[in-house]
Structure formats: C-alpha cells, structure tokens
Structure 1
Amino acid sequence: MMPFIDLATQRARLQDKLDATISKIIAEGRYVLGPEVAELEERLASFGQADHALTCANGTDALALPLMAWKLRRNDAVFVPSFTFASTAEVVPLHGGTPVFVDIDPDTYCMCPKSLAAAIDWVKSQSDLTPRVVIAVDLFGQPADYPAISEICRAEGLKLIADSAQGFGCTLNGKHPAAWADITTISFYPAKPLGCYGDGGAIVTRDAELAALIRSLRNHGEGEARYAYERIGLNSRLDTLQAGILLAKLDIFEDEIIGRNKAADAYAAGFGNVVKTPTVIDGGVSTWAQYTIEVDDRDGFRAKLGEAGVPTAIYYPIPIHLQTPYADFPVAPGGLPVTEYAAGRVVSLPMDGYLGGERQETVIRAVRRAVA
C-alpha cells in the first residue's frame, strides 16, 4: 500500500544536510536550548510575519502556555471548535477554564463566526461564565476566517489564539494568522506539514511582553537569574536535535507548500463533482495538512480504496463535545449540527509535498471507481 504521507522522499532529499546537522549537534553536546533553537525561533518569527517565536516541547504545550500567561480562571469561557484534535479543548479545563464548543463552516470546516457570536451572547446572558479567549483552528491546513473572528474578539475584549498546529504556513490575503491573533501555535509532530522527528511545538506573537512571560513559563518559571523562579511554570523546551532537523526542513518548506497546492489542484480537477472536495476560504492559501473529502457511504468507500492499495484516514470521527470527558461542557445555541454532520462523512486522502504522477493518479482512479 502506498504511504499516506511520503516522509521517505523528503528525508532522502535532506539526508546529507540532516546527517551533518545531527553530527554537529551531538559533537557539540548542547542538547537542550542549543544555538539551533535560537536560530529556529528567529526564522519561525520571520516566516510567520511575527516579531517573536518561542519553541516548546509540543503543540499542546504551545496552546497551554498562553492560557497560563493570561491566568485563566475557573469561570472563564474559552470558545473552541469541537471538530478538531483533543488538544484544542483539553488545555482549557486543565488550566482552570471552561470550554464552550462552537460550530464550523460547512465548506471550510473551520470555526463559524456566526456560531461564535451566538455562543458569546449566550454565555454573557445565560451563564455564570465570563468570555475570555477564542481558539480558532486552522483545520486541515487552511486559515480560519480571521478577519471576522478577530473583529468579534476585539468587540468583546477577548484574546485570540490561532491554533495553527496543522496550518503553520497558511495565509489569508497574503497575511499569516499572526496578523490577527494574539498568539499563533504550532505543532511539529512528524505528520504535520513542518514536522520534526519527535515531538515539538512553538508559539509566534507580536507581543514582546507576552513572549517574555512565555519564555519564563516554558522553563519552570525561571527569571533573569538561573535557579531564581518568578512564577510556576512548565518543563517545555525543544531539544536541539529537533531544532536542527526543523531548520533543514524549513529550508524547503515553501517549496513543499507549493507542491501540496499543486497536488490539491490535481485532486480537484481529477475528482470533478463526484465527491465533495475541500473549499478554501477566499484569499486563503492552505498548507494542506490533510486533503479531506465528503462521501455518503464512508465505510464502504474506505474499504474499496483499501482494496485498491490506497490508504485513508478519518479526522475526526467523534466530535469532542460528544466524547465522555467533555459531555457536560456547554455548546453554542442550537447545538453543533454542521460538526456532527461532517464528522460522519469526511475522509482524508494521501497528501504531501511530493504527491503527483502515478501515485496520485492511482488515488484519483480509486476514488472515482469507489463512488461510481
């Protein structure tokens, strides 16, 4: 069966650079917060059109650190989509707040601004919660509707996090999410468009004071002097080896985003109207972390593709608000009908920066036959 994500071709392309980088780091012996970490942070900030970038241990910590910096309280409401990975919601109760689940747009699968506005109004009028933070997700690699969402946040005095775990590198009208969000978070999990060879994460921001605070929080709350602690923090530092790997990958990242968009265009042309193909927001450029379509008989569809040697995946089969640990948290007025509908129909196909040729044609033929 063909790979769902072709990391081997990327690794072969970078092998000499990776070997030299890893050997250098091992020889120098600065395995935690070595010079490659600082270099990576500078480059991430520049790439993401922000003033500051801080790496951390993983994408979940990247979400948790700003909530810690903002001192989330018990009655603080944090508005999150339910159609996403668990990290987006789990950091909220773990750090003292209450997640309020918001519906998604039926075409982009990103947070619906109308549902968000309705949820905020409900919280203000019907509960003892205080609206505090919005976490919008760049789902499947494309930007959320940040102009609309940030306008709501400004009007309500809310902080905005762009959860760009899947979408770092996406843009909207030429701007990265940092143009609108207080914080953009990144995951470097290996399957992400910009992935390392283990766990890793980062935040980017234009706020110097917030960056300084998070720099302390990620390193046990340490202050200016070593072993002098100004606050309670985390052990959330990126290994130097992972930073070196990411620097090599960052060199080719823009080229890979172009490759992913060419592959997405080829999929759309090949499928025509036989399945519901992804819709990218007007003015948006996706990193295509996943290429996700909708089908009627998902189980039957996946079985037929499996017989043809084509792997598939489902992101996400059970929305978070329907999972047992989250069942008692509030949802937007009217429920989340779009989320629940999409969760039963979506299926993701092979996608990476090297998809094309016969490998992609095999996928296209298999999809067309499966729905014939």
Structure 2
Amino acid sequence: MHAELLVIGGGPAALAAATAYRDHRGGGAVLLVSNDDVPPYLRPPLSKDFLRGPDDPDDPEDADGLLLTPAMTYPEQGITLRLGQTVTDLDARGRTATLSTGDRVTYGDCVLATGSSPRRLDVPGAADALVLRTLADAVALRSAATAARSAVVVGTGFIGCEAAASLRARGLAVTLVGRERFPQQTRLGPEVGARVAGWLEADGVVLRGEADVAAVEHGVRLADGTAIGADLVLLASGVEPQATLAAVAGAEVVDGRVAVDAQLRASVPHLFAAGDVAFAHNAAAGRRLAVEHWGEAETMGAIAGTVAAGGDAAWDAVPGFWSEIGDRTLKYAAWGDGFAHVRVVDHGGGAFTAWYADDAGRTVGVLTHDADEDYERGATLVAEAAPLP
C-alpha cells in the first residue's frame, strides 16, 4: 500500500495534518493510522462536561457528540482511517512503515502525531488506578464515578484540578493530592496557585499539598503514613511523549520529544512531528518549545500538513489554552518555559490578571480570569517581547 501522506496518531494534530494537506491541494492517498478505536474526537471535555455528564456512561450519542468530524466525511476527503492499529516500525530512509497487522505502507511524507501517554506512579497498586487520556479512559472513569461515593485525584495539574472539580460536581467526596503546596504553583506562581486552591476548596474539594503517594490501596497511602480511603483513584500525574518511532527512524529526539523546525520538519527528510510529541522551534520565541495544549496540536498539525502539500507555513503563534475548573475559567498565553517575575492584578469580583516577565522585564506570559481584554492584549505583548505593562 502507498500513501502520499501517512499520518500516525488519532488526536487533533493528526486530523489537522490530514485535512490541511487536502485543503492545500495535496494529492494522492492520505492514510491516518490511530491506535484508538474511535475517529479523532474532542478531548478537553473528557475532564469536564463529559465527566460531569449523564449517569449512563455507555450512551453512544454522548460519545458521538465528541467526534471532531463525522466518520462518513473521511472518504469524502480522500482520507483512509486505520483505527485500532499501531505502526510498529518506521524506516525513514526507505519511507516505509510496518503496521501491527503486518501490512507495509510506503509513503511520500509522514507526520508523527503520536501524542503522549499518562504517566503512572512507580508505587504499589498504581497499575490498578484510573487514568484520563482517551475516550475509553473517560468512559471507565465516568462509569466508576457513577457507582462511587468518594475519590482521590493524584496530581494538581490542569487535568487533575478539572477532574477533581467535575467529580465533586457529581456529588463525590473528593481529595486532591499533589506535591506542591498549591496547584500549579511552579508553573503559575504561588499567588495564582493559592487562588485555584481556594476555588477548589470552596467547591468542597479537600486538598493535600506537599504530599507524596507511597501506595494505591483502597484509596492512597501517603509517604507520611496517612491513609486516604476512596472508592476510586485517578492518576493525573503527567504524561510521557510517545517518540519511540522517531528514534527508530533516526530522527533527533530531545528530552523525549522529536526536535523539529518551525515548519515541523524533523532531522530526517520527509518526516514531520506535531503536537505533544514535538519539540518545535517557534519563530517568534526564537527557540524550541515543548507544548501540550490542544490548540497548539491543531496548529502544528495544520502547519505540517500544509508544508507537506507544498504550501508555506511556520509556527510563530504564542501558545495558549483555557482551563475550566468547576464554573471558573482560566485563560493562559505564554511561552511556557519559565518566568522570573509575576505580578497579579485584581479587577474586583474575583476577576484577575497575572502578568509574567523574564529577568529583562519582557512579557513572557499572561493568565486571566474574567479579564478577556488582558488575555488578548497579553498574547500580543508576549509575541512582541514587550515590557511588562
């Protein structure tokens, strides 16, 4: 089998690459190989609306509503889906991929959009805990939540905070456990972390900060010996980029991600990488960035597909995302690789803006709650490396 464009992955970057290739008059066959059993779907709702949704976790209409595009549109676009399959070997020199079925595919160009997998704690019982990455994970979590009265969520990143708030909204007693004193303290600063902690506590979530999990057993046991009982345990302790195929193909891999330029090209010809798995050069930042945001995955995938079709595109946007924690929304735009100073400005009524700067006083990030003008203005200031306002 031959594909002019082979896309490996089933998330937003993969779909964006395939459709952008077609939109820019890429000719020939397009093959998308995904280890998921479902065509590309929305993942942000999995920790929010979907988790808070109907008590029937197997409602097919509920799941179908997450599809990014109806399944019947793929043949119309000339995109062939191979679902529930993986690529086991990638020969970049011969431009050949071997599928888990044993089929061999030759290609013109290949986009790696393999994403990330949930990171499990290296403690006893962790293999029995739930994770949240795929639709199947979300269905299992929602099913467990329907029968549960209590939950422990391990990890105070955005997925952990969102899921904790959603489980609490379902009526479960929820404890959120993390290593930092406040959620997202290192990434967003202690003052913002304290505000997020306040939101969660106001919703009834119990926080256990500065805590390490020693075991998962009928809940969790902390390193200090404290036992927190629960009917279900959700691990939201980060992700691991899936860059194995890139390494097999001989592409440069840096800190577990595929090093690519601003056009998303890897170090070997005819190979691109987009989304979580990419360590991509951002033309505006002037350096490579590791980004795990949904919107950036779509943007990167579209760039890779456009360039593969012979078009002109480069990644130069400021990464950003929204996070819904209960009924509150955070909007964040930043380079995401650190800051030296943060200044938080209150606007009244709970609204605020956090401005982030480097050592030279240049704006490197902005985070807002109910302050959309600052969010939009902040992204521009970050892109221009303007002084902190």
TM-score, with length taken from structure 2: 0.30
**Higher helix proportion:** 1
**Higher strand proportion:** 2
